[in-house]
Structure 1
Amino acid sequence: MHTRKFQMAAVLTAALLAAGCSQGSATRTSSGEDGKTTLRYFTFSAAPDHLKDLDKIVAAFERENPKIDVVVETAPYDEYFTKLQTSIAGGTAPDTFELNYENFVTYASAGSLLDLGSVAGDGDPSVYAQESLNAFKRDGKQYALPASFSTVVLFYNKDLFEKAGVDVPTADWTWAEEQAAAAKLTDKKKGVFGDFQPVQFFEFYKTLKQAGGEFLTADGKKSAFNSPQGVKAAQWLVSKVGKTMPTEAEIGGTADYDTNLFKSGKLAMWHNGIWQFAGLKDMPFEWDVVVEPGDATRASAVFHNAVAASSTTRHGKEAWAWARFLSSSGTAATTRIESSWELPPVSDQAVLSGYLKDPKPANRQAVFDALESIALPPVIKRQQEMQDAVTKELSEAAAGRKPVPDALKAAAAAVDALLG
């Protein structure tokens, strides 16, 4: 389903990582007899569409750093953080690993990350967009380097719109216009759905912002989403289920259900991220994207990923060198842009302008337009528990087991307990 899925929060036994990792081993890094250092890197964003792109970046790094071998390990996003937590708890953490903005505070607060400033070599910080660099600082220390950013947009199947005689989405659309179009485009007898927007934490905080609400109070000490705006946002998500998008029972726990539905030409509109572009290159129908519709205001989700180093790595300087190359080198930046693998958080706008040259989707400008009204995810120390609690209650409402106000009240109580 939605690529930015919630991860399992429980830390399993250390044996799980050894059994589950598809590449590499769970042993600590070492320097071999040939004098080379083996550096492990664990990632979720490369698989499955960008492994060759990552290999290209690794090869370029190893040419510039012939005494370092980078061993890549991957896991799907919905398994990644369980495996990462397991490896850290079991003392087998990879030297370097990918972290998203939402989970960064948790890992930094737990002492799991190396202060990269303590091992940094030469490097000009101005190559990064300053706001991206600052996002991964904690207590004045740089615990990770920003490697990519992406936005969520509204994908749409132009052929379905044309066949139904419905005007395609524009940047001026509101929820009401999306809802009206989705109703006209839904044809359950043919298995065609008008809309798909996951009923979960990542969509809720964004739609809450669109409705004019806030997730947390200004001081961050209490939830603020159990409000009229929160009810409106949750109702917007829940109201689609069983009408213009499939029910939980129809989805049946099928992995990547929405992706497959869109690719099969059976989904008219799809709320998802630009990381999907590469996998949609050869679709047998015309599709495009637009900034997501708003309600009281416009707000788009922006995700940041970074590369961090384990506080237990024996190769801090090598880890910093790899993190620096992966996050800011010309090779990494151009590879990401040419392959539509999210965007590099670089300050050079000339580099980013190359992203617009790819003809599919045609409206790539929407990716940058979405940055004009950002909805950043709320972040607390007990991040995963908060995400799971909100998603659980929203799922109860979506399944009809709880009224939306009751579900929000329960979610707010759970979040307040985590903040207390």
Structure 2
Amino acid sequence: MSRHFIIVAAATALLASACAQGSATKATTGTDGRVTLRYFTFSAAPDHVKDLDKIEKAFEKENPKVDVVVETAPFDEYFTKLQTSIAGGTAPDTFELNYENFVTYAGAGSLLDLGGVAGGGDTSVYAQESLNAFKHDGKQYALPASFSTVVLFYNKDLFEKAGVALPTADWTWADEQAAAAKLTDRKKGVYGDFQPVQFFEFYKTLKQAGGEFLSADGKKAAFDSPQGVKAAQWLVSKVGRTMPTEAEIGGTADYDTNLFKSGKLAMWHNGIWQFAGLKDVPFAWDVVVEPGDAAKASAVFHNAVAASSSTKHAQEAGAWARFLSSSDTAATTRVESSWELPPVADQQVLAGYLKDPKPANRQAVFDSLKSIALPPVIKRQQEMQDAVTKQLGEAAAGRKPVADALKAAAADVDALLG
């Protein structure tokens, strides 16, 4: 496997809509020796519940004494619910973790060391660097289950109707900006571009601008810089011009998804987890590696399966974590359904991903791995993400100049690092 495939040590897709919200019941063992194992996830709903069910049934066939109960929550609520359940002593036996939050949970003692309970310890099926990404203090506290990248989606019909050249892998920010301006028709509710003004987009555009988020020693924020201002300005400049304002969005869930599906959005910065939900849209669309500025840089999100340190069924939890993250059933199901990609060592499994004709340029998914922007990770991760997003939002709403917003965000992050 190439180095570009195995350095995908980044995480989390902004996925999911609500399904079940998570029971407060602990794992149980029936009188017949059957074990009920709870699994909490953010990435399955709404588009891949059936795919997860297929994997679950295959696992239960191989492990007839185990019943897996799946619980889901949308990503923006998921970690609050998970933290509450752990603090209240009702943690699910197994749960999904993204790379950004892994360090916090592992350091807090919330995770079970899967090294001794995950089925013999053979980890050769995994891409080694992906496996190493979920080790802490030398212990395997989670098993890598999937990775996904962010690309530029575009509505081919809108481009062709407007007579604008289609995006290419060589595009820069300037190319994207020029096309977005031509494609925007606010009177008709058609927008040229959509890129959320938030932490996850900022650290990536910062890398594209040639900047760094943290100092070399990781002890101070480094994004309050000319490159940081350029990156933040790039995001903020779209608001109210080539993309809707916060007021126009009005807090509507999945606003950007619905806008693209309705054929009123020309370009959309989003992840490959969206592929499955776009199968039946009534227009032609495709993807390309995101434009860059001083450099190319693509966000890569990486999710894993962990088990609670308080589970009463460590062996069963380990077996489920291993099956969900590395079995042939899980890997082929993910590839065939475009449910992100399995971080496996076998290139042939990944090669099958290219056979699906929608979108046509699936090669962009792998090309984006050539220039990765890894997310900054600290112990107080969620607070850092929220602080940066809040200040960027102030700038996007016109309440603060970009430079002042970045200065305030840097001060907030320094306080979290102190």
Q: TM-score, normalised by structure 2?
A: 0.95
The alignment partner of 1:127 has SS state of coil
The answer as to whether partners of 1:23 and 1:72 remain within 8 angstroms in 2 is no
Identify the residue that residue 372 of structure 2 maps to in structure 1: 374
Aligned residues: 406
Q: Deviations over 1:317-345 (max 9, x none)?
A: 11110000000000000000000000000
Please, which runs of 5 or more residues in structure 2 have no aligned partner? Answer: 1-11
The answer as to whether partners of 2:15 and 2:273 remain within 8 angstroms in 1 is no
CA–CA distance in structure 1, aligned partners of residues 23 and 285 of structure 2: 41
The answer as to whether partners of 1:144 and 1:307 remain within 8 angstroms in 2 is yes
Identify the residue that residue 348 of structure 1 maps to in structure 2: 346
Give 1:77-96 correspondences, 5 Å limit: 77-96=75-94
Q: Deviations over 1:74-124 (max 9, x none)?
A: 111111111101100100000000000011011111111111113232242
Query: Once the 2 structures are TM-superposed, how far is the Cα of residue 131 of structure 1 from its aligned partner?
Result: 1.3
Amino acid across the alignment from 1:75: A
Amino acid across the alignment from 2:336: E
Residue 334 of structure 2 corresponds to residue 332 of structure 1: no
The alignment partner of 1:270 has SS state of strand
Q: Deviations over 1:350-371 (max 9, x none)?
A: 0000000000000000000000
Amino acid across the alignment from 2:118: A
Give 1:3-402 correspondences, 5 Å limit: 4-5=13-14, 22=20, 25-402=23-400
The alignment partner of 1:85 has SS state of helix
CA–CA distance in structure 1, aligned partners of residues 393 and 14 of structure 2: 14
Identify the residue that residue 412 of structure 1 maps to in structure 2: 410
Amino acid across the alignment from 2:154: Y
CA–CA distance in structure 1, aligned partners of residues 299 and 180 of structure 2: 21
The answer as to whether partners of 1:6 and 1:388 remain within 8 angstroms in 2 is no
Q: Deviations over 1:4-24 (max 9, x none)?
A: 4599xxxxxxxxxxxx98266
Amino acid across the alignment from 1:161: F
Amino acid across the alignment from 2:176: E
The answer as to whether partners of 2:114 and 2:318 remain within 8 angstroms in 1 is yes
CA–CA distance in structure 1, aligned partners of residues 15 and 68 of structure 2: 28
> Over the residues paired in the alignment, what is the CA RMSD in angstroms?
1.4
The answer as to whether partners of 1:24 and 1:71 remain within 8 angstroms in 2 is no
Q: TM-score, normalised by structure 1?
A: 0.95
The answer as to whether partners of 2:95 and 2:305 remain within 8 angstroms in 1 is yes
Q: Deviations over 1:179-212 (max 9, x none)?
A: 0000000001111000000000000000000000
The alignment partner of 1:241 has SS state of coil
The alignment partner of 1:126 has SS state of coil
Amino acid across the alignment from 2:139: K
Q: Deviations over 1:376-402 (max 9, x none)?
A: 110000000000000000000000000
The answer as to whether partners of 2:142 and 2:305 remain within 8 angstroms in 1 is yes
CA–CA distance in structure 2, aligned partners of residues 79 and 41 of structure 1: 16
Amino acid across the alignment from 1:91: G
CA–CA distance in structure 2, aligned partners of residues 114 and 213 of structure 1: 37
CA–CA distance in structure 2, aligned partners of residues 226 and 6 of structure 1: 29
Query: Once the 2 structures are TM-superposed, how far is the Cα of residue 33 of structure 1 from its aligned partner?
Result: 1.0
Amino acid across the alignment from 2:337: S
CA–CA distance in structure 2, aligned partners of residues 52 and 255 of structure 1: 22
Query: Once the 2 structures are TM-superposed, how far is the Cα of residue 234 of structure 1 from its aligned partner?
Result: 0.2
CA–CA distance in structure 2, aligned partners of residues 251 and 120 of structure 1: 45
CA–CA distance in structure 1, aligned partners of residues 15 and 216 of structure 2: 25
The alignment partner of 1:346 has SS state of coil
Query: Once the 2 structures are TM-superposed, how far is the Cα of residue 221 of structure 1 from its aligned partner?
Result: 0.9
Please, which runs of 5 or more residues in structure 1 have no aligned partner? Answer: 8-19
The percent identity for this pair of structures is 87
Identify the residue that residue 6 of structure 2 maps to in structure 1: none
Amino acid across the alignment from 1:294: G
